[in-house]
């Protein structure tokens, strides 16, 4: 009888560890708004440096840079939601799709 109870205890411990590992991997996948601000900021930096696309005009680059400054201020002032929207608008202005949170 003791052999059966030890087997069940081992099985339950294994299941518990598997569930814990699954919960941790889901928690690691979550991205905070601050991290998302950083990701979008880097993406916008790259888009501006490469002029985003061949047809991007100087005025589009200037507008995107102004939006970048505004987004930087929002993110620094703990207004990440506004900063994220502003970064996304700047990227869209340049014809670039903003990075996805889940990637």
Q: What are the boundaries of each domain within the chain?
A: 33-94
pLDDT digits over 63-88, tens only? Answer: 999 999 999 999 999 999 999 999 99
Q: Among residues 75, 42, 43, 47, which one has the least CA distance to residue 61?
A: 47
> 0.75 cut: is pTM over it?
no
Q: Among residues 47, 50, 36, 37, which one has the least CA distance to residue 93?
A: 47
């Amino acid at each position: 009888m003791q052999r059966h109870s030890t087997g069940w205890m081992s099985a339950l411990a294994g299941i518990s560890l598997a569930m814990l590992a699954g919960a941790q991997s889901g928690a690691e996948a979550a991205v905070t708004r601050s991290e998302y601000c950083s990701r979008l900021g880097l993406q916008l930096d790259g888009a501006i440096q490469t002029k985003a696309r061949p047809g991007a005009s100087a005025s589009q680059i200037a507008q995107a840079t102004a939006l970048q400054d505004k987004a930087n201020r929002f993110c620094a002032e703990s207004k990440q939601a506004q900063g994220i929207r502003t970064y996304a608008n700047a990227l869209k202005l340049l014809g670039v799709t903003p990075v996805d949170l889940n990637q």
